Structure 1
């Protein structure tokens, strides 16, 4: 099919090439030969009068026009998918859809089990894929790699709709038999202690470090960093270190590890945990079902 002399089949090839920046990987993803995809790239270059991707050393680099087209092409394909390809009705008991989430291991620990319990009781045939954290989660929506993001409000995009699921407080966890577990945790004791923290890849300072530096002038003495929220409580066992974590996660882990939960010695606003989806998928009945399931899971989470 052609639109203004452009073969619309080439849009899928262009989208894949701009994401993968490799003819070999793009061909594998599209299940076609590298020579066929290379031919598609030649036709795209002719149509747009631009290289779109250029070979520099061993890498293919996107040209300025290619960068401008990247989001537009992905949005166009998302729009087609949401309005034409997605079935207008959704049957949770008969669906073969796989929903992809971007969310932290904290969310998978405190919220997701309640969502899967609901799905199980409904006898839904939907399946779920939880994606590893990345530096720019919104690219997962733009590229169609994720159906939904579950992230704090501070990290949400203003380009797509969102909804608050619940609020979360923060606390400190320490080894129950440590000296720091005795008595009140003051700001001075907090500042002098060693700290373990979760730091996402590519982020030099987390939410708390910014607050400490700007509002309290506290510079935490860093002992260890990890990629996992759920591992933080275990990392204080046998030491005088502190982990500052989500209150719900702390309560779960205190049932497993010899931990003592202490209130933060200063006021920190609660975190709003939100879900966000692509603007073109507002009317996707499958996503509406999923969002409602997560909202009910958030209610059940605090009734356990």
Structure 2
């Protein structure tokens, strides 16, 4: 049975999961309804929907791992069942990061103002190839996840439950280097899409600076639609970068718990922090997207109207 601290942490995890599911499901539902209604889907909606679905799966896997760790330790220490969880965590983690990177690149290509021929060609081409890019992200994530699903050490799961009660076994010690190197490499792979998003962010800042400077030279106002679009895109990208940094740190805490004395609590704490990124970023995207923001306001108005009618 879980103690009071574990029960409290599990309750917090369930709350974060519920908030994340609500935000991401709303994004997917609104875009799918718009798709059915208009018989087509815009590139930005396709990216947002793909990102929302990947994050719903990621949230579910993180919460499942947290509950199994506390409530079903026997299942947690058996490698066969947990390899499935590890595979899907790795898969959904990479999918979420790559789809968010696609969103950053899309914002950059659509909003930034550069006149280089290669940039203009990419700007013109992006809508035609976005589906293939997303499918390529899926294929790449599966390719990355399969080797890790086969190589994840069963002793890690066993040591997470037993290490703080007994000394590390010889087998745990002998596989420590192999496990740590595998996890470090796994984390380093996510730094490439993070770097791409960071470059997109910096180029957006440069584009905004040039645009504002041009507006000032022409003695016109700075808050034109292009400036607003730049600012909105920058907010979305920088929020992803900051939340990804927190998520990456939490992921490191959870995976490096192999070397910590209170490893079980370290894993749960890391997963609590990891839940923040896919949960909160969905609401930032809703507020930054005009269609989603208007749909959320209509939904809140309807809920308020229903509650008012029930009161009276």
TM-score, normalised to structure 1, is 0.21
What TM-score results when the alignment is normalised by the length of structure 2? 0.21
Which has the greater radius of gyration? 1
| Structure with the higher strand share, 1 or 2 | 1
Q: Which structure shows the higher helix fraction?
A: 2
